[in-house]
Structure 1
Amino acid sequence: MSSIIEEVVTDACPSPPRGDPEEVTNVDPEVEDFTEKPRVSDPSPTRQKSKPKPKPTNTYANVINISNSNGIQIGSTYTFNLGNKEKPTENIMKTDKIMQLFESRIPVEREHIMYVATHIGSNWKGVGKHLNYSDGQIEQFYEDNKEIGVKEAVFQLLLDWTRNDPDQAFLGRLAKVLWESGNRDPVRRLSKKIFV
């Protein structure tokens, strides 16, 4: 058998030799050799063994549906006291005007409520509790008026009190409730306004 080598002329670029580059010998850089060389198989397998696929794990998820709830917290709670405290209530002493206000039988008017509502602080819910409102009723006053502010919630609570309990809606009762709930500054201011 004789092998016939034909010279092939083409305008295509030659591709690099196939197989192991160490086997290519007698390469003259001046002469391009377009003859096909027999392929020599590499004794070392180049194919990597496929890694075994991990078995699927069973994952479980807990789903908790919470509805009609308020104040839910998931995670840690951090409380920072930055020293912004209100005046202690002990600094305001009972004066003669305050004692006179405690005994007053003047009916509570809308103007009194508007004045007092602007001076009641963060413990405004204590006023509602001392007026025998339930926590739910107090919270409802806040929810109904939270877009406007606490001042409006206090105003509506006191207005509701005067309408539903007119026999007790006197300045004396209001002043005692404010004093007992820790809102002493509004009592001092109201006594100065009423008894000039």
Structure 2
Amino acid sequence: MLWLTGLSGAGKSTLSHALRDTLAAERPVEILDGDEVRTYLSAGLGFSKEDRDTNVRRIGFVARLLARTGAAAVTAAISPYAATREEVRSLAERDGVPFVEVFVSAPVATLAERDVKGLYRKALAGELTRFTGVSDPYEPPARPDVVVRTDVETVEESARRILDHLRGRGLLRGAAAGTAEVAAS
């Protein structure tokens, strides 16, 4: 189970798609994108702490089911609260599912520059409430398995670092690090 966490716009979805082809060479891959899960699995949930935790638990449950069948379950969800991420990790490990937490990090200023929807601008101006990382908390992982810095790394560099970690833990075979195996999407 590959769990990508970070603020909106940090690059979680982009990275999950960049990893897909390499992971798919060894097993089926399913990407659980936070926006899609909210639409299809968590419709009706709001943005209170309780609703956000429920959403993360649902993503974790589906990811565990997929991983137990041998699929590479890749999540791309903000998942703002450390305790809930730890709960998901604990349940995965209880089920014998390796859990790899990737902190997709970028400063809010960079994310605001990238933001084509203008959500950061609105949140920073106080026009949008309960926006994670601005007016609502985001608790960065204390000990993530991998940290990628999308403000200074290319998609390919970040993806390569994640793949190298997976190989180092024996969770991925395949080509050695440094090959042109990662396709940006």
Instruction: Looking at secondary structure, tell me which structure has more helix per residue.
Output: 2
Higher relative contact order (CA 8 A, sep 6+): 2
Which TM-score tier does this pair reach, normalised by the shorter chain?
A: under 0.3
TM-score normalised over the length of structure 2: 0.26
TM-score normalised over the length of structure 1: 0.24
Instruction: Looking at secondary structure, tell me which structure has more strand per residue.
Output: 2
